[in-house]
Structure 1
Amino acid sequence: MLDFLYYPVSLVMRLWHELFGALFGPATGLSWALSVVFLVLTVRALLVRSAWTRMRAARIGRALAPQVARLRERHRGDARALAEATAALHRTHGSSPVAGLGVVFLQLPVFVALLHVLRAFHRPGLTFEQNAAIANYAFPPDQVASFLQARLFGAPLAAWLRMPAEQLAAFGGPPVDGAAVAVVVVVLTVLAAVCTHLGMRYARVDPGAAPQGAARVLAALPWIAPVGVLAGGLLYPAPVALLLYWMTGSVATLVQQLVLTRLLDRRPPVVVAPPAPERSRAPRPGAKPVRRRPAGARR
Structure 2
Amino acid sequence: MLDFIYYPVSGILWAWHKVFGFVLGDGSFGGAASWALSIVFLVFTLRVILFKPFVAQVKSMRKMAEFQPEIKKLQKKYANDKQKLAAEMQKLQSEHGVNPLAGCLPILLQAPVFIGLNHVLRSFNRTGLSYEQNIKIPNYWLPTEDVQSFLQARLFGAPLSSYIAMADNELSQFVPHVGRLDVILVSIPLMIVASIATHLTARHNVARQTAAVTANPQTAMMNKLTLYLFPLGVLAFGAFLQIGLLFYWLSNNAWTLGQQYFVYHRIDREEAEAKAKKVEQRNNLAPKPGQKPMQQVRKPAKPTETADAAETGADTAAETSVEETKSNGSGSPANGSAVNGSGDASTKVPGLAPTQARKKQSRKRR
**Normalising to structure 1: TM-score of the pair?**
0.84
Q: Which moved more, 1:241-250 or 1:79-88?
A: 79-88
| Contact kept? 1:41, 1:252, Cα under 8 Å | yes
Alignment correspondent of 1:157: 160
Correspondence for 2:143 among 126, 140, 148: 140
CA distance in 1, matches of 2:148, 2:209: 46
Correspondence for 1:209 among 201, 213, 226: 213
Task: Check if 1:227 corresponds to 2:232.
Answer: yes
| Contact kept? 1:61, 1:97, Cα under 8 Å | no
| Contact kept? 2:162, 2:242, Cα under 8 Å | yes
> 3-state SS of the aligned residue for 1:249?
helix
CA distance in 1, matches of 2:36, 2:235: 21
Cα-Cα RMSD = 2.0
- Tell me the percent identity: 38
Q: Which has the higher contact order (CA 8 A, sep 6+)?
A: 1
CA distance in 2, matches of 1:145, 1:40: 23
Give the deviation of 1:81 after TM superposition: 2.2
| Contact kept? 1:18, 1:26, Cα under 8 Å | no
Give the deviation of 1:206 after TM superposition: 4.8
Alignment correspondent of 1:17: 17
Q: Deviations over 1:232-258 (max 9, x none)?
A: 212x2x211111111111111111111
CA distance in 2, matches of 1:26, 1:83: 57
Task: Check if 1:115 corresponds to 2:114.
Answer: no
| Contact kept? 1:207, 1:216, Cα under 8 Å | no
Higher helix share: 2
| Contact kept? 1:54, 1:100, Cα under 8 Å | yes
* CA separation of 1:153 and 1:233: change in aligned 2, threshold 3 A: same
CA distance in 2, matches of 1:154, 1:259: 37
Alignment correspondent of 1:7: 7
| Contact kept? 1:16, 1:38, Cα under 8 Å | yes
* CA separation of 1:260 and 1:212: change in aligned 2, threshold 3 A: closer
> 3-state SS of the aligned residue for 1:156?
coil
Kindly provide the amino acid, as one letter, of the partner of residue 222 in structure 2. Answer: L
CA distance in 1, matches of 2:157, 2:268: 44
CA distance in 2, matches of 1:23, 1:258: 31
Alignment correspondent of 1:176: 178
Alignment correspondent of 2:243: 240
Larger radius of gyration: 2
Q: Deviations over 1:77-114 (max 9, x none)?
A: 22222222223223222222332321011000110011
CA distance in 2, matches of 1:52, 1:111: 22
Give the deviation of 1:166 after TM superposition: 3.6
- After TM superposition, the runs of 4+ consecutive aligned structure 1 residues lying more than 4 A away are 210-213
Alignment correspondent of 1:185: 187
Give the deviation of 1:208 after TM superposition: 4.7
CA distance in 1, matches of 2:155, 2:56: 37
- Structure 2: state its 5+ residue gaps: 276-366
For 1:1-299, what aligned pairs fall within 5 Å after superposition?
1-26=1-26, 28-173=31-176, 175-203=177-205, 204-206=208-210, 208-209=212-213, 212-221=216-225, 222-234=227-239, 236=240, 238-268=241-271
> 3-state SS of the aligned residue for 2:271?
coil
> 3-state SS of the aligned residue for 2:246?
helix
Give the deviation of 1:165 after TM superposition: 3.8
CA distance in 2, matches of 1:70, 1:39: 44
Give the deviation of 1:213 after TM superposition: 4.4
- Structure 1: state its 5+ residue gaps: 272-299
